[in-house]
Amino acid sequence: MSHKTYLNLIGGEHYPARSGKTFLNLNPADHSDVVGEFPASGSQDVDAAVAAAKKAFATWRLVPAPKRAEILYRTGQLLQERKEQYARDMTREMGKVLAETRGDVQEAIDEAFYVAGEGRRLFGKTTPSELQNKFAMSIRMPLGVVGMITPWNFPMAIPSWKLFPALVSGNTCVIKPAEDTPLSTFNLVQTMIDAGLPPGVVNIITGFGPDAGAPLVEHRDVRAISFTGSSEVGSIVAQRAAANFKPISLEMGGKNAQIVLDDANLDLALDGALWGAFGTTGQRCTATSRILLQKGIAKEFTERLVERAKKLRVGNGLDAAVEVGPQVNEQQIETSKKYVAIALAEGAELLTGGVPLSEGTHLNGTFFAPTVFGGVTPQMRIACEEVFGPVVSLIEFDTFEQAIQIANSIDYGLSTALYTKDVNRAFAAIRDLEAGITYINAPTIGAEVHLPFGGVKQTGNGHREGSEAIDFYTTWKAVYIDYSDKLQRAQIDNAE
């Protein structure tokens, strides 16, 4: 079957990689289905893209923010029209089921409308000067060219979280999407161009991390980097960016706990656990990978969870009857297998799953059975390290205080959930859980675009996307306007 070839987008024109190298984007549910062929870019391609973005910055920064925002608003409208097609493209390139890829496009739509409103805010501050006849204010300024490196699990939503706030703030962008999911970035950026985005304001370079991502991080004309991916790569990226003091926003791993207390609505907690653990095949940074069960309900919850996990239909996400899609690639399958072996060696009890699925309709894809481990203790590696697959660990506890302590006993701090009817415990958990996001009676996944998104500890480096993203994509300028017509010296002339 012939497939489509895509080229890098640089300054509004399309170019192959200078090296001529390409790579194939395969459907993880069926490797005989080639989604497209993309440039395997290197540093020369990055240089060209950064130069185009730098050139475009000279004019884009002068476009009034409400006008920049109108392009985002139109992008949101066009995405609504294209939602179904883009969701199908995304399921083909990434695997998650259609309901979820529709949600992914919807998140980009929500972000477009939310950020478009920001075009008429971008508020600065005014404050009284300590001197007479002097006016003082602070205003937000764009940074310049911003580099973005994105992962494959939210192929349109995550690029939109980065591009839209950067653009409304007046920056221009070079984005390096994950090698498994470049098509969704092309779909997003094409929509922006159709909505009126001028050439060079967003540039796309496709390829692999060390070849195409690293030169972007190191480029002297790139003023900031926004990265979402693994903590391992995030650490490399941060160290490289530190060499020239580049601001960097890191959004990385999680080992998210759902706590279920004895008084919880068990049906609700079960629904939440299944969705949190196996939605997106467990490949979300907010996925539920630890379920902490209070002793009174642990046995019943475990039995019911395992029974339902066994019944989940795993298959091609384009099939409406399928509930869990494939893992994105062979490497992720290997990681799931590795952690199953580790868990077994540590003495955890495999309650269901634990193996790749490779027969019948699963023959040509990278599928893994929904996997539940019982008898897990908080110190086991399976309870501490991110798997990024459909693998969940059950940990039992006696008291609420123990649950909080176990939930916090990891290096990550992204999302947490508590199921209880006790309002006092709910508020105590909100206060005590070390995480950027806490849900009460809802699963660990389900962030909305207009709240802060991000985590503490090794999940991030303190920045937030969502409602607070503008803080990263702008820098402050303090402005003093003296209308006294004489020299007034701060700290000196008003000192008596």
Q: Which residues are catalytic?
A: 251, 285
- Give min distance, CB of 428 to ligand ADP, in A: 33
**Among 115, 214, 297, 435, which residue interacts with ligand ADP (rule: CB under 6 A)?**
214
User: Whole-angstrom Cα distance, residue 284 to residue 328?
Assistant: 12
Nearer to ligand ADP, 274 or 387 (CB): 387
Size of the site for ligand ADP (CB under 6 A): 18
Question: Which region among 13-21, 27-35, 227-235, 342-350 touches ligand ADP (by CB under 6 A)?
Answer: 227-235
**Among 15, 73, 135, 208, which residue interacts with ligand ADP (rule: CB under 6 A)?**
208
Q: Is 36 a residue that touches ligand ADP (CB under 6 A)?
A: no
**Among 210, 296, 347, 462, which residue interacts with ligand ADP (rule: CB under 6 A)?**
210
**Among 136, 236, 266, 442, which residue interacts with ligand ADP (rule: CB under 6 A)?**
236
- Lay out the site mask for ligand ADP across 117-156 (x = CB under 6 A, - = otherwise): --------------------------------xxxx----
- Give min distance, CB of 174 to ligand ADP, in A: 12
Give residues 176-205 in contact with ligand ADP (rule: CB under 6 A). 176, 178-179
C-alpha angle with apex 466: 289 to 117, nearest 5 degrees?
150
Question: Which region among 61-69, 155-163, 172-180, 195-203 touches ligand ADP (by CB under 6 A)?
Answer: 172-180
Nearer to ligand ADP, 225 or 264 (CB): 225
- Give min distance, CB of 208 to ligand ADP, in A: 6
- Give min distance, CB of 366 to ligand ADP, in A: 14
- Give min distance, CB of 150 to ligand ADP, in A: 6
**Among 167, 237, 407, 414, which residue interacts with ligand ADP (rule: CB under 6 A)?**
237
- Give min distance, CB of 224 to ligand ADP, in A: 14
Binding site for ligand ADP (CB under 6 A): 149-152, 176, 178-179, 208-210, 213-214, 217, 229-230, 233, 236-237
